[in-house]
Homo-oligomer: A and B are copies of this chain.
Amino acid sequence: MEERIDIQEVVTRDGLQIENQFVSTDQKIDLINKLTASGVNKIETTSFVSPKAVPNLRDASDVMLGVNRHPDVTYTALIPNVYGAKRAVACDVDEVNLVVSVSQTHNWKNVRKNVYESFSEFEDISGMLAGTGVAINGSLATSFGCPFEGKIEDEEVLTLIDRYLELGALGITLADTTGMATPIQVYRLCSKVLDNWPKLPLTLHFHNTRGMGLANVMEAIRAGVYRFDASLGGLGGCPFAPGATGNICTEDLVHMLEFMNYQMSVDLDQLIATSKYLETIVGHEVPGQVIKAGKITDLHAV
């Protein structure tokens, strides 16, 4: 088992993108600054996507330019195309996160491209980024199953990792976009990936759609993974995956790992406080459980 775990926060991208109400630019910046202060390792700050496609993230540049950057935190942003990459570079992002679905159907529903067309766009992005110092992370949505096609073969995932690495991606994220991964499947696929690329910076991005999120984290850790995406309060989901509920909850994840003595740079109490702040800015309860039940060390008076 790895002793150290990296916590990568996605709430301001994956979480806020499907909120009904627009969260103001100042509140987004506040939230990101609080997350930075809590000690997370990476923040998917925003998405440089069309304001028409995701109106809630129409202030991507203002947010990225407005946050207080900490040198120990990687500020990444989701990028759908060359134009988005240019906007991101103009804001001096540390990394761009490219996304393609392993499932052709899901990719079409998500970005109106087939998988080959997506990689063709990624080649152009990679060319544009050459010499900028901006890193590329390659995300594979529906790595564990597609809500339209069903089963995804491990080999399809391995093939697309290869494609990403060929075009210069430094890290890879396997995303369980609609919460279809089972623990045994997670162990198997993560083991295959790390057998093939033992030094690969591999992130796992789980959703808790069917309650298996933290069980999947444990199996990924057993396979050697130590980087996890999570969303504060468990906010999030995929707008193109009907019925899906949230990402795994950052503070629930950190709570579980902390009480098993994994080493993390993040402060659990600050995360919990920030999750309570998040509830005030989105205007509703979040799905996280530790925020309701307290930590296991929060004892009750007799």
Q: Which residue of B145, B180, B215, B290 contacts A210 across the interface (Cβ within 8 Å)?
A: B290
Q: How far is the CB of A84 from chain B (nearest CB, A)?
A: 26
User: Are B210 and A260 interface neighbours, CB within 8 A?
Assistant: no
User: Which among A34-42, A193-201, A251-259 touches the partner chain?
Assistant: A251-259
Residues of B within 8 A of A245 (CB): 289, 292-293
Bound CA–CA A288/B180 (angstroms): 16
Number of copies: 2
Residues of B within 8 A of A150 (CB): 297, 299
User: Are B109 and A148 interface neighbours, CB within 8 A?
Assistant: no
User: Are B210 and A147 interface neighbours, CB within 8 A?
Assistant: no
Q: How far is the CB of A106 from chain B (nearest CB, A)?
A: 9
Q: Is A211's beta carbon under 8 Å from chain B?
A: yes
Q: Which residue of B lies closest to A207 (CB)?
A: B293
Bound CA–CA A273/B245 (angstroms): 20
A266-302 vs B, CB cutoff 8 Å, 1 = contact: the mask equals 0000000000000000000000111011111101111
Give the interface size class of chain A.
35 or more
User: Are B211 and A249 interface neighbours, CB within 8 A?
Assistant: yes
Bound CA–CA A242/B255 (angstroms): 19
Q: How far is the CB of A236 from chain B (nearest CB, A)?
A: 14
27 contacts between A and B (CB under 8 A): A109-B302, A147-B299, A148-B301, A148-B302, A150-B297, A179-B293, A183-B256, A208-B211, A208-B289, A209-B293, A210-B256, A210-B289, A210-B293, A210-B296, A211-B249, A211-B252, A211-B256, A211-B290, A212-B214, A212-B252, A212-B256, A214-B215, A215-B256, A242-B300, A243-B292, A244-B293, A245-B292
Which are the 6 A-B pairs with shortest beta-carbon distances?
Answer: A211-B252, A215-B215, A214-B215, A180-B296, A184-B260, A211-B289
